[in-house]
Structure 1
Amino acid sequence: MDTATHITMGIAIGGLATIDPAVEQNPDLFQAVFIGAVVGSHAPDFDTFFKFKDNATYIRHHRGSSHSPLAVLLWSILITLSLAIFFPDVALMHLWAWTLLSVMLHVFVDIFNAYGTQALRPFVNQWIALGWINTFDPYMFGLYLAGAFAWLLGADPVITYGTIFFVIFLYYIKRFFDKKEIIDILNKHFPSATKIITQPTIKHNTWRVVIETPKYYFVADCDHGHIDIKDTFKKRDFPDSAEMNAAFQDENVKSFRNFSPAYRYEIERHDDYIEIRFIDLRYRTDGHYPFVAVVTMDKFYNILTSYTGWIYSEEKLQKKLESLS
């Protein structure tokens, strides 16, 4: 989920926490719980600071260890103990319980979008990305925002947010069946499909999909059940070559390959350097695939430059590579 939705969800948990008599009757505990819920609803995404180091580190760790069961526990304890400094007389178990719920809910909702999370790490390092909900879902954000305004205007927070959470629960069920319908349609059109990746968009009935078959990748849009194939790529095995093996050792390429479940590659050989490009097929935007990993090397396969991240034009990519050389 996006930051705005996580924060409004934290506000919702802070309001729902008034169902707890200890929170409702103690203004200091309510303040502490409210802050804990809001901070906890965003805490796992503090791993965004990895971006200050480089994109490879960010991609490798974002929604990784910071979203694991151990991290969820540590985030909730750290936030609770920090708040205890400012609210020394509140019931810590109540504060911790609501903060823990907020952190847990953050990780839980993240598994439903296409980016996903490693929520079971270190037991399972696989990315869990169910692809039911867009990273920013205007319906859910609108409900949380409406609940906040209603609470400010005097509505009972327990009734308000209890109703909102129930409606959102039903919405998740609907989105499950929406995706199932898309998968069923695609399986009929592509009976040999070995993998189907769905990415919901901000438009409720429009989905981006990648269909993998034994021989091809198909990139398509699905709008109200109508499939529009945008690109078709023949699958190619990775060559067992010195240049490809050198690229695989690059940290940017490692991070990209660890994260991306469906990608292709291109090799361009120039007079004085070789460029290998890995292209994620999930994020097609206006005919462009913005999430890439690019590595250049000399004729002796020494890495000259490398980059991974989101680039929305070839010009910007070349400028980025030049700045890294």
Structure 2
Amino acid sequence: MGIALGGLATLDPTVASDGHLAQAVMTGVIAGSLAPDLDTILKLKNNAKYIRNHRGITHSIPAVCLWPLPILLILSAIFPHINLVHLWAWIFTSVILHVFVDVFNAYGTQALRPFTKKWVALGVINTFDPFIFVAHLVGILIWGLGADPAYTFIGVYIVLFGYYLIRFYLQHQVKQAIHKKIPNVTKMLISPTLRFNQWHLAITTDERFYVGRAFKDEIVIYDEFEKIPIPKTDVIEAAKVDENLSAFLSFSPVHRWEVEEYNDHIEVRFIDLRYRSKGYYPFVAVVQLDYQLNIICSYTGWIFSEKKLRKKLEYLPN
């Protein structure tokens, strides 16, 4: 998208008439389109920090305003005597575009901070959408073959605008099909998959959770769980103090919980219901405590088998 925006920038007469400015804009919009995701580096610290902060403050209104400034300062040193107003405007546009596009997938962003920490996730586009990716590659290829970049990417984005409208329409059909199949729905989380006509479903009623998949407008339910409120027991309250569980609860909008007692410890597990894959729920938070309610170890993140989870817990002392 950064490269595409660099092509669109040639619509700006000031950019089109200054080769150095055009180079700076291309570099700036690529950097700006990547900048909000620099919080990915938190994964090197631990999953809890990453889950709590990814697409949070770095995608907020203040951050969108601030990200262009360091990029502008660096490029102004590399390309002196260029028009900084036009350069800033295109970098700013690239940052806005990044955050705007993230709003349309199921992960979402906290784009409305500092006014609210609510996650904004429209759930119509997959985090990686093959159609959008290929559309940009085709545009870049056509540009490389000598076509005008501005008109090329205007065409690409007209096509993508239509694609987004189709995705909203398909999601609307899924919502209608859910209401027909399951009465008294209080919440539905519809997440796109890599397949055009398939959607992950996590549905809540007053009494139950339903997990399934939509194939076009056909709803298939794989699992049902009784909706049991989280109790305020000493064990649960002690587990909630843990950083991993706290991060999970700050991010997961629909989950169920389990408490298991073993000979030498108690295990508290919270399971996100949005990401069912091959019969397994990979996004979890697990806290193990001794019988004095001291935390032994904990983990949160995406892991795709019980065996791997057990192995992970063995090597994660608190």
State the SS of the aligned residue for 2:308. helix
Which one of 297, 315, 318 corresponds to residue 323 of structure 1?
315
CA RMSD of aligned residues (A): 0.7
Output aligned runs, 1:87-166, within 5 Å.
87-166=79-158
Measured in 1, the distance between the counterparts of 2:253 and 2:231 equals 19
Measured in 2, the distance between the counterparts of 1:311 and 1:276 equals 16
Which one of 299, 302, 313 corresponds to residue 307 of structure 1?
299
Q: Residue in 1 aligned with 2:3? A: 11
Q: What does the per-residue CA deviation read over 1:151-188, in whole Å, with 9 as the maximum and x for residues that have no partner?
A: 11101001100011111111111111111111111012
Measured in 2, the distance between the counterparts of 1:103 and 1:256 equals 27
Measured in 1, the distance between the counterparts of 2:315 and 2:290 equals 17
Q: Residue in 2 aligned with 1:250? A: 242
Structure 2 length-normalised TM: 0.98
Tell me, yes or no, if structure 1 residue 216 matches structure 2 residue 208: yes
Residue type matched to 2:229 in 1?
Answer: D
Measured in 2, the distance between the counterparts of 1:221 and 1:212 equals 14
Tell me, yes or no, if structure 1 residue 39 matches structure 2 residue 31: yes
Residue type matched to 2:172 in 1?
Answer: K
State the SS of the aligned residue for 2:94. helix
Q: What does the per-residue CA deviation read over 1:201-231, in whole Å, with 9 as the maximum and x for residues that have no partner?
A: 1110001111100010000110021111111
Residue type matched to 2:70 in 1?
Answer: L
- Report the alpha carbon displacement of residue 196 of structure 1 after superposing the two structures with TM: 0.4
What is the identity percentage for the equivalent residue pairs of Structure 1 and Structure 2? 51
Tell me, yes or no, if structure 1 residue 81 matches structure 2 residue 73: yes
- Report the alpha carbon displacement of residue 52 of structure 1 after superposing the two structures with TM: 1.1
In the alignment, structure 2 segments of 5+ residues that lack a partner are none
Output aligned runs, 1:47-58, within 5 Å.
47-58=39-50
- Report the alpha carbon displacement of residue 191 of structure 1 after superposing the two structures with TM: 2.3
Q: What does the per-residue CA deviation read over 1:248-291, in whole Å, with 9 as the maximum and x for residues that have no partner?
A: 11111111001000000111100110001100000011111100
Measured in 1, the distance between the counterparts of 2:141 and 2:3 equals 11
Q: Is the 8 A contact 2:174 2:216 kept in 1?
A: no
Tell me, yes or no, if structure 1 residue 180 matches structure 2 residue 172: yes
Q: Is the 8 A contact 2:170 2:216 kept in 1?
A: no
State the SS of the aligned residue for 1:139. helix
State the SS of the aligned residue for 1:222. strand
Runs of 4+ with deviation above 6 angstroms: none
State the SS of the aligned residue for 1:41. helix
Q: Residue in 2 aligned with 1:263? A: 255
State the SS of the aligned residue for 2:50. helix
